[in-house]
Structure 1
Amino acid sequence: MLRRALDGLYWLSAAVAAACLFGIFAIMMIQVALRSMNRPFPGADDVTAYLCVAATFFALAYTFRRGELIRVGLFIERLGPTVRRMFEIISLSLAAALTGYIVFWTANDVMFSYEIEDMAQGSVPFLLWIPKMAMPLGAGVLLVAILDEMVTVLSGQKPNYVRAAEERAARGDFSAEV
């Protein structure tokens, strides 16, 4: 049940990223249509920029779990199973620490923006804490995914990102490998 909930969380995060990409597409198409009628679209550039950031952060966890993030495995792939497992644990621990740091400081920035009622300086003023929420939320889901993989490795199993990369390699797809 927990596995389905976590996979659902990763999928939901990816769906939000996809919705952000569609939002960028929609804004660009509306801008094209309005330009042909000599009409402006105030705030379009600002909203597009924030949607780009949101799409990036919300896509991280799903991409990580599927092994689609670019990993340099030349060193670790040559190690024996025991040493490789140790390096996976060290790598995941460092990734969790760094991601936790990112979550902490981006959440801190959101809270500061909320407290001072920080407004966008663009053509359409809006509260900045709202689009900034994408960073700690997306990074937070990534942190959960990293910890999920760490539990998998600590329990002696192969991480999902490794399994997914092996499945792609078996199919002859090396697009995510460096």
Structure 2
Amino acid sequence: MALRRALDALYWCSAALAALSLFGIFVIMIAQMVLRQFNIPLMGADDVTAFLCVASAFFALAYTFRRGELIRVGLFIEKLSPQARQWTEGGVLLLAAVLTGYITYWCLNDVLFSYEIDDMAQGSVAFKLWIPKLAMPLGAGILLIAIIDEFVRVARGLKPSYQVAAEDRAARGDFSAEV
């Protein structure tokens, strides 16, 4: 029970970081708009905005995955018997965990390499690149945890959270995610 609350808190905090990244983009855009009226450039705005875009995408992955909001093709799996579907879900989640682990590894490797060589941004404001790059392995790592979490649910014979969330939306008559 405590583990479940901790994992849900991790996914929520990751989504909150994604939201803060989006808010940061908003603040930068508003600041640019206001400063442009006084012919004052906002140095480094483009670089920071680009890194915040990446952070918002990676930090949103786990929460979005758990809520069943990521794009899934269920035409095949929905036609299977419950037992066959459970096995297929488990296999797909295992494959997703392997691929996400691979992505996480190489993103972390890139961060460590940037740290090792003291890589600096080449834009108008020089800053250490390993810091904004950290969003990629962190977000991918949290997604990996979420995928393993779902694999354990399926292995225990439970429906995956994303399926439960999709069924709840359908029961409410909300088919916005199905478009």
Equivalent residue, structure 2, for 1:47: 48
Equivalent residue, structure 1, for 2:169: 168
1:98-177 correspondence runs (5 A): 98-177=99-178
Mean CA deviation greater in 132-141 or 70-79: 70-79
Q: Deviations over 1:11-56 (max 9, x none)?
A: 0000000000000000000000000110000100000000000000
1:80-95 correspondence runs (5 A): 80-95=81-96
Deviation at 1:156, TM superposition (A): 0.3
Gaps of at least 5 residues in structure 1 are: none
Equivalent residue, structure 1, for 2:24: 23
In 1, distance between residues paired with 2:173 and 2:5? 29
In 1, distance between residues paired with 2:164 and 2:115? 41
Gaps of at least 5 residues in structure 2 are: none
In 1, distance between residues paired with 2:170 and 2:84? 22
Query: In the alignment, residue 22 of structure 2 is paired with which amino acid?
Result: L
In 2, distance between residues paired with 1:58 and 1:135? 8
In 1, distance between residues paired with 2:114 and 2:175? 43
In 2, distance between residues paired with 1:134 and 1:56? 9
Deviation at 1:177, TM superposition (A): 2.1
Deviation at 1:174, TM superposition (A): 1.4
In 2, distance between residues paired with 1:108 and 1:22? 28
Equivalent residue, structure 2, for 1:69: 70
Query: In the alignment, residue 35 of structure 1 is paired with which amino acid?
Result: R
Aligned length: 178
SS in 2 for 1:32: helix
Equivalent residue, structure 2, for 1:5: 6
In 2, distance between residues paired with 1:10 and 1:116? 32
Verify the 8 A CA contact 1:72 1:177 in the aligned structure 2: no
Deviation at 1:86, TM superposition (A): 0.9
Equivalent residue, structure 1, for 2:79: 78
Query: In the alignment, residue 88 of structure 1 is paired with which amino acid?
Result: E
Which segments of structure 1 move beyond 2 Å, counting only runs of 4 or more?
none
In 2, distance between residues paired with 1:31 and 1:87? 49
Deviation at 1:69, TM superposition (A): 0.7
Query: In the alignment, residue 113 of structure 1 is paired with which amino acid?
Result: S
SS in 2 for 1:11: helix
In 2, distance between residues paired with 1:4 and 1:84? 27
Deviation at 1:172, TM superposition (A): 1.3
Mean CA deviation greater in 168-177 or 16-25: 168-177
